[in-house]
Structure 1
Amino acid sequence: MKAVEVVADDLGVVKKIVEEGKGWETPREPYEITARITARTADGKEIIPSKEEAYFFTIGKSEVRDMLGDGRLIKRRVFDGKGEFPMDCPLHDSLLRVHYKGMLLDEPKSVFYDTRADNDGEPLEFCSGEGLVPEGFEMCVRLMLPGEKSIVTCPPDFAYDKFPRPANVPEGAHVQWEIELLGFEMPKDWTGLTFEEIMDEADKIKNTGNRLFKEGKFELAKAKYDKVLREYNHVHPHDDEEGKIFANSRSSLHLNVAFCYQKMGEYRKSIETCNKVLDANPVHVKALYRRGTSFMLLGDFNDARNDFEKMITIDKSSEQDATAALLKLKQKEQEAEKKARKQFKGLFDKKPGEISEVGVESDGGKDAGDARVNGGEATSADRGVNTNDSPTSESEYAFEEERPGLLGSLWPSARMIFSSLGMNRCAIL
């Protein structure tokens, strides 16, 4: 009796073994398969005739790739490239050279740009990881092999709705790109470089991150700083002078990462990143300033005050910046206390046995935790600069405004209100 194996739970696919194979191993991605295949309909009609020549294919080598998993961004390979997937793809930030044709998904497939026609026949060159092309475009190119041609169908939010839009591309347009990856240059390997050469390469990447930060591309900027920090794990200074330069550079990168987190509204992560600098150097004034600002934006006013006051005791030249920060902190405390008093208004006017409701102000439909993001510049310590330098260059940055939630507004302000009323605990009877 031949074995029958149910492949699909709904019995839509059933496999009947007519002749047992040998061994225990079955093919899996990315095995290359050679097989003879015959296909018949249920009534026995042959639709793929048997032949002596075997079929050859690779499991897992998909011609079509759903990049987002929801069917919106589709990459379809029409011409194979050279090399092994994905090892020979430009997965890391690289200098890429591509020819492409951009079309609207309308009836005539209107072409809005063609490098071969509109760029004097020259390919487009760009560095990945710098936001120089639409996100959907870069995502697909990173998974192409040199020489590969693919057709990419892209939704508006990964095409030009969040990227400078060509004049002939309407807002909300779905687009299609025909892309050919001509080649790419991998980033320079730091192995074998001198310390001076390594620091030069680090500065190039860091400066790119600073440019992205100024453009408001905080996630991309953070990725650049993180890249250098990962490379620094394999750098070993040879003497005290190199060690000082290296420590300053690494601290600067951590603080830039913390600033990115701050701009992205991730204040806890910003604080954790500042702690990495302060663990190595507890009197690093810039780290105290950055952490204090994040504490303030988070509503941890006492911790923020401690950091700003510590700045003054460590370095008198930072007093102007610390004083300005303390004034801003006092203003935010007063605003939080005023809001808390308004929310608690009438709470203690009720007689015993009555329940009072705490009024909650409407935020106009915005989430309580939303933060306003302002522009600014990433700061980075120059080589050899004392790590105790005051953050004078940061004084021009406006403090972020965070709309606190109910509990964030009540504490610690509510605690002060209770104390002023002579109550250490509040019980609603």
Structure 2
Amino acid sequence: MCVRLMLPGEKSIVTCPPDFAYDKFPRPVNVPEGAHVRWEIELLGFEVPKDWTGLTFKEIMEEADKIKNTGNRLFKEGKFELAKAKYEKLLREYNHVHPQDDEEGKIFANSRSSLHLNVAACYQKMGEYRKSIEACNKVLDANPVHVKALYRRGMSYMLGGDFDDAKNDFEKMVTVDKSSEPDATAALVKLKQKEQEIEKKARKQFKGLFDKKPGEISEVGMESKNGGDTAGSGEAVTSRDRDGSGKSSPPSAESDHAFDEEKPGLIGRIWPSARRIFSSLGLNRCTIL
């Protein structure tokens, strides 16, 4: 942001927070961890992007190759975000390019497809497999038998865990172009290895979940059933003991009085008559204070 506002020969003091000071670069010994970093920048010069207006198609393609080569260099250096920005800038500029004949159209289409696939490669390196697949689809929408696009999309499918889709793309490569069979075969071998790795991890993760023998669950059920039968037998025996054929012992005096009705008190005896009197007077409820 600072450099964009500077003029050639101008110097600026820049202060950067620790999160953006060094990134992947090693921190100097004399700079404590978490410290803000200040440095001086002098802008020696810059190149103004060439305006494509008025250029011939050949000149436009030459300028595009320069920007593309810069993106390729950044990609090789592992700066995938910066490389992607170069490719996407070219694709935006391509919206204003109009080939004049079939030959120019073919060159332009190949260049645009190459840029889309380079963007897909950047997304793939960045771990954004779904976006990589979308970039490949832009090529395959225009040319469904583009071998390189099928290969790159298949790799993104594989890395994203969509093994069936990856297999379909690799197999389609061979049907489209027999010369791509070695690459497709190598990709299918790699896909098989990836599937085995995932399966091995899944087995390890769920190890012990299904270790029980098939009969153990049914045995538990049998034990419960047997236990229920035993309980039922116990109840039956108790009933027979209670209602057995032998003569039962005579009830004790305590049990004789267990079901005797309780005799009502004075209030209990006069309440029915009083209730009828209250009802005849139209009083359904009466509260005695």
The TM-score by the shorter chain falls in which range?
Answer: 0.5 to 0.7
| 1:343 lines up with 2:209 in the alignment | no
1:312–1:322 CA contact under 8 A, matched in 2 = yes
Structure number having the greater strand percentage: 1
Q: Could you report, residue by residue, the CA deviation over 1:14-57 in whole angstroms, capped at 9, with x for unpaired residues?
A: xxxxxxxxxxxxxxxxxxxxxxxxxxxxxxxxxxxxxxxxxxxx
Which residue does 1:124 correspond to in 2? none
User: Is 1:273 aligned with 2:135?
Assistant: yes
User: Which protein shows a greater Rg?
Assistant: 2
Structure number with the higher helix fraction is: 2
- What is the TM-score normalised by the length of structure 2? 0.68
1:31-86 CA-partner distances (Å, limit 9, x unpaired): xxxxxxxxxxxxxxxxxxxxxxxxxxxxxxxxxxxxxxxxxxxxxxxxxxxxxxxx
Whole-angstrom CA distance in 1 between matches of 2:106 and 2:199: 45
Q: What residue number does 1:334 align with?
A: 196
2:121 alignment partner in structure 1: 259
Is 1:160–1:171's contact at 8 Å kept on the other side of the alignment? no
Q: Tell me, in whole angstroms, the C-alpha distance in 1 between the residues paired with 2:121 and 2:98.
A: 26
Paired residue for 1:141?
A: 3
RMSD: 2.4
CA change 1:201–1:342 in 2 (3 A) is same
> Relative contact order (alpha carbons < 8 A, sep ≥ 6): 1 or 2 greater?
1
The code of the aligned residue for 2:93 comes to: E
Cα shift at 1:298:
0.5
Contact residue 295 and residue 303 of structure 1 kept, 8 A: yes
Matched, 1:285 2:147: yes
Deviation, structure 1 residue 184: 4.0
Q: CA deviation at 1:218?
A: 0.3
Tell me the percent identity.
86
Gaps of 5+ in 2: 221-289
**C-alpha separation between the residues in 2 aligned to 1:227 and 1:207?**
13
Q: Give the aligned residue type for 2:160.
A: L
Q: Is residue 298 of structure 1 aligned with residue 160 of structure 2?
A: yes
Read off the aligned partner of 1:260 and give its amino acid letter. C
Change (3 A) 1:145 1:300: same
Unmatched 5+ stretches in structure 1 = 1-138, 355-429
Count of aligned pairs between the two proteins = 214
Alignment partner, residue 188 of structure 1: 50
Give the alignment of 1:114-263 within 5 angstroms: 139-144=1-6, 149-163=11-25, 170=31, 172=33, 174-181=36-43, 184-263=46-125
Normalising by structure 1, report the TM-score: 0.46
